[in-house]
Structure 1
Amino acid sequence: MKPIIVAAKGKEQLKENWKYCIGTGRLGLALQKEYLDHLKIIQEKIGFKYIRGHGLLSDDVGIYREMKIGDEVKVFYNFTYIDRIFDSFLDLNLRPFIEFGFMPELLASGDQTIFYWKGNVTPPKDYQKWSDLVTVVVKHFIERYGLEEVKKWPFEVWNEPNLVNFWKDANKQEYFKLYKVTATAIKEVNQDLQVGGPAICGGADEWIVDFLGFCHKDKVPVDFVSRHAYTSQSPKKVTPDYYYQDLVDNTDMLHQFEAVRGLIKESAFSNLPFHITEYNTSYSPINPVHDTPLNAAYLARILSEGGDYVDSFSYWTFSDVFEEADVPKAPFHGGFGLMALHAIPKPTFHLFAFFNRLGEEMLYRDAQMIITRKENGAIALVAWNEVMEKGEGFEKEILLKIPVNNDQYFLKRQSVDDNYANPWKVWKEMGRPRFPDKQSVETLREASIPKLTTAKINKEEDGYLKLLLTLSKNEVTLIELSEMKDETETYEGIDDSLITSYSS
């Protein structure tokens, strides 16, 4: 086997675009305890910078209200819930990546809604009242959090207006009108606030071209471009509980990133930041692939290379406390989340946690691995073996030669695959309980812990550490190599062979 010889010094720094933002279900869910419990764990283990979700202006958050005083109807803006929600985010070192939507019922021009929680997706019946709403909301954020803070918050206009489900008739010109009114209102509060769009899903990139052309022609402010990306094919089968789809090759998502970046460069706004404000494998919140080790192994290359093309890409979503397709009916229901209900980490949670352990200096990268060095000299690498085929086997071997200075290293390896850190598998073995008891929940949490192996390894005569890695099907593994000094000889008279059952 030909070894991979790792460079002694990296040529570039590892970008952290993969952890710039994380998605969430509708913002009103942040009023639930379990939601905040999950978010705290996510921040402790991964530490995202921004959070984006739907429903800022939907009626469950309750910002827009109208009150009748005598014969006169007056608008009342209620910030009770949104203040509580944003305070919770900021307390966890998360800034909001604000999505302006959906339409408050009292402002809506129609009754078309989406999701179990009925987000209204029609244009405003009165654009002046919509403009006033945007203005008052932005001014309130500045009054509460300060202008310098709110300048750091991106403001995105709507969500996937190219789909009839998310924007009535997918009317492009009506969206451009909404964008212009919204962006103008934001900039009239302060010119330094960031606003962008069009937040489309994939498959309609002509919207990007037309949107930027419209902004240029009509001199409408735009500070960033946003888009979504998924890699699932049409459904093979849909049941009341699950939505089954095949996935295309994961390079398709990287090609999506690169293609849209090219469209931006060809526009009148060639240097605009480009944010993927949603991405995942499947776009369905009930696709069981989200619960599997494949989901983690498949997305590993996206985390590794996505930052080459986009300024941020926001995984959709951090938690299965999520209600687009009704209240979840089982702990493993195919939800988008990194974390299942009952605070059970899924394999993809560990993928992100592993990447968060990487160093700043990138020494090596290919389609199945990334190797880095930390500031303290430790080596950290993540390797993966994504397998789309069914069946057993598919092991992959990798031989590494890593140049090091120290003579001895402590190796710590954590692994996720079909047999380790796979609580979905254990849940199936339990008989797929919809509402597991506390003991079963504890078992599932125990089953979510990565496999841990450790070893002491020595530098070889040629100055390299030699590592032979075997990766199982859909394994994602983190290896950390830290310099060590063996102090065994400082223990006078030590002899492990005197312990029953052990050798020296």
Structure 2
Amino acid sequence: MEPIIIAANGKEEFTENWKYCIGTGRLGLALQKEYLDHLKIIQEKIGFKYIRGHGLLSDDVGIYREMKIGNEIKAFYNFTYIDRIFDSFLELNLRPFIEFGFMPELLASGEQTIFYWKGNVTPPNDYHKWSELIKAVVKHFIDRYGLNEVKKWPFEVWNEPNLVNFWKDADKQEYLKLYKVTATAIKEVNQDLQVGGPAICGGADEWIVDFLDFCHKEKVPVDFVSRHAYTSQSPKKVTPDYYYQDLVDNTDMLHQFEVVRGLIKESAFPDLPFHITEYNTSYSPINPVHDTPLNAAYLARILSEGGDYVDSFSYWTFSDVFEEADVPKAPFHGGFGLMALHSIPKPTFHLFAFFNRLGKEILYRDEQMIITKKENGSIALIAWNEIMEKGEGFEKELLIKLPVTSDAYFLKRQMVNENYANPWKTWKDMGRPRFPDKQSIETLREASITKLMTTKINKEEDGYLKLPITLTKNEVTLIELSEMKDETGTYDGLDDSLITSYSSL
């Protein structure tokens, strides 16, 4: 096997664009205990900077209300719930990446809704009232959190208006009107606030071109461009419980990032930040692929290389406390989340936690691995073996040679694959209980723990550490190497050979 020889120093910095933002179900879910429990775990192990979700202006959050005063109907803005929600985020070091949507029922021009929770997707019946609502919301945020803080919050206008499900008739001209009114209202409050869009899904990048051309010609404020990215094909089968799709090659997502970055560079605003405010494999919240090790192995290359093209890419979503397709009917139902119900980490959770262990200096990177050095000189690498074929086998062998200065190193390796940190498999072995008892939930949590290996590794005569790695099917592995400081000699009378079944070796 030809070894991969790694340089002692790198020339690139690994950005944290992959953890800039994380997606969430509708904001009203943040009033639930399990939601916040999941978010605390996510922040402890990964530590995202922003959080984005739907439903800021939907009726369950309850911001827009109307009251009759005398003979006049006046708007009443109720911030009781949104204050509680945003306070919870900020206490966990998460800033809102605000999506303005969906339409409050009292401002809606029609009855078309989306999702189990009925987000209204029609334009406002009165653009003046919509503008006043936007200004009131933004002013309240500034009053509560301070201008310097709110200047750091991006304001995105709507969600996937190129789809008839999310914006009535996918009317581009009506969306551009909505964007202009909304952006103007935000800037009227303060010119330094960030506003952008059009938050489209893939397959309609002409919207990006037309959006930027409109902003240029109409002199409409725009501070960033946003888009979504998924890589699933048309469904093979749809049932009440599951939505089955194949995936295209993961390089397709990187290509999407690169193409849209090119469109921005060719526009009148070539230097605008570019945010992917949603991405995942499948766009369905009931696709079982989200629960599998394949999802983690597939996305590893995206996390490794995506930041080369975009300023942020926000995984959709952090938790299966999520209700677009109704209240979840089982702990593993194909939900988007990094965390399954009952606080059970999925394989993709560990992928993100592994990436959070990387250093900033890239020593080596290819389509199956990234190797980094930390400020303290230790090495952290992630390797993966994404396999979309059915069947057993598919092991991959790697041999890495790392230049080192010390004689001995401590090696720590954590693994996720088909057999370890795969609670979905354990749940299947249990018979797929829809509502597992407490003992079964504890077993599923135990099954979600990564496999851990540790060892001492010595420098070879040629000055390298020789590191052979075997990756099983859909494995993601994290290896951390740190200089070993041997204090064995400081223990008086140490003799492991006196321990039953052990030796001093």
TM-score by length of 2: 0.99
- Tell me what 2:253 maps to: 253
Matched, 1:292 2:292: yes
Q: Distance in 2 between matches of 1:169 and 1:500?
A: 76
Matched, 1:499 2:502: no
- Tell me what 1:317 maps to: 317
- Tell me what 2:422 maps to: 422
Cα deviation, 1:289-342, whole Å, max 9, x if unaligned, reads: 000000000000000000000000000000000000000000000000000000
- Tell me what 2:177 maps to: 177
Shift of 1:484: 1.0
Matched, 1:358 2:358: yes
- Tell me what 1:168 maps to: 168
Shift of 1:491: 2.4
Shift of 1:398: 0.4
- Tell me what 1:91 maps to: 91
SS of 2:76 mapped into structure 1: strand
- Tell me what 1:186 maps to: 186
Shift of 1:475: 0.2
- Describe how 1:182-261 pairs up with structure 2 within 5 A: 182-261=182-261
Q: Distance in 2 between matches of 1:238 and 1:70?
A: 53
- Describe how 1:11-30 pairs up with structure 2 within 5 A: 11-30=11-30
- Tell me what 2:121 maps to: 121
Shift of 1:12: 1.3
SS of 1:413 mapped into structure 2: strand
Matched, 1:385 2:385: yes
- Tell me what 2:407 maps to: 407
- Tell me what 2:303 maps to: 303
Name the amino acid aligned to 1:122.
T
Higher mean C-alpha deviation, range 64-73 or range 96-105: 64-73
- Tell me what 1:465 maps to: 465
Q: Distance in 1 between matches of 2:66 and 2:41?
A: 38
- Tell me what 1:334 maps to: 334
What value does the CA root-mean-square deviation take over the aligned residues?
A: 0.6
- Tell me what 1:456 maps to: 456
Q: Distance in 1 between matches of 2:400 and 2:154?
A: 42
Gaps of at least 5 residues in structure 2 are none
Gaps of at least 5 residues in structure 1 are none
Shift of 1:13: 1.1
Shift of 1:72: 1.6
Shift of 1:71: 2.3
- Tell me what 2:439 maps to: 439
Q: Distance in 1 between matches of 2:503 and 2:483?
A: 26
- Tell me what 1:372 maps to: 372
Shift of 1:486: 1.6
Higher mean C-alpha deviation, range 320-329 or range 489-498: 489-498
Q: Distance in 2 between matches of 1:406 and 1:329?
A: 54
Name the amino acid aligned to 1:460.
E
Cα deviation, 1:158-211, whole Å, max 9, x if unaligned, reads: 000000000000000000000000000000100000000000000000000000
Shift of 1:498: 1.8
Q: Distance in 2 between matches of 1:280 and 1:306?
A: 12
Q: Distance in 2 between matches of 1:269 and 1:405?
A: 48
Higher mean C-alpha deviation, range 63-72 or range 276-285: 63-72
Q: Distance in 2 between matches of 1:366 and 1:9?
A: 16
- Tell me what 2:47 maps to: 47
Shift of 1:499: 1.6
Shift of 1:461: 1.2
TM-score by length of 1: 0.99
- Tell me what 1:488 maps to: 488
Aligned residues: 504
Shift of 1:68: 1.7
Name the amino acid aligned to 2:349.
F
Matched residues, percent identical?
Answer: 89
Name the amino acid aligned to 1:242.
Y
Q: Distance in 2 between matches of 1:42 and 1:182?
A: 32
Cα deviation, 1:27-64, whole Å, max 9, x if unaligned, reads: 00000000000000000000000000000000000000
